[in-house]
Amino acid sequence: MSCEFCDTHGGELLWRDAFCRVVLVDDADYPGFCRVILNRHVQEMTDLSAADRARLMGVVFAAEQAVREVVRPDKINLASLGNMTPHLHWHVIPRFAQDKHFPNPIWGEAKREGVKHAASSSALKSALLAQLESPAI
In this prediction, residues 87-111 reach a mean pLDDT of: 93
Calpha distance 76→94 (Å, rounded): 5
pLDDT, residue 15, reads 94
Contact partners, residue 88, CB within 8 Å, separation at least 6: 37, 38, 42, 43, 44, 45, 47, 48, 56, 80, 82
Band (pLDDT 50/70/90 cuts) for residue 124 is: confident
Stretch (H or E) spanning 52: helix 50-71
Calpha distance 9→39 (Å, rounded): 9
pTM check: above 0.75? yes
Cβ contact 41:3 at 8 Å: yes
Cβ contact 27:67 at 8 Å: no
What is the percentage of the chain residues whose pLDDT exceeds 90?
A: 70
Contact partners, residue 6, CB within 8 Å, separation at least 6: 41, 87
For domain 4-131, the CATH class is alpha beta
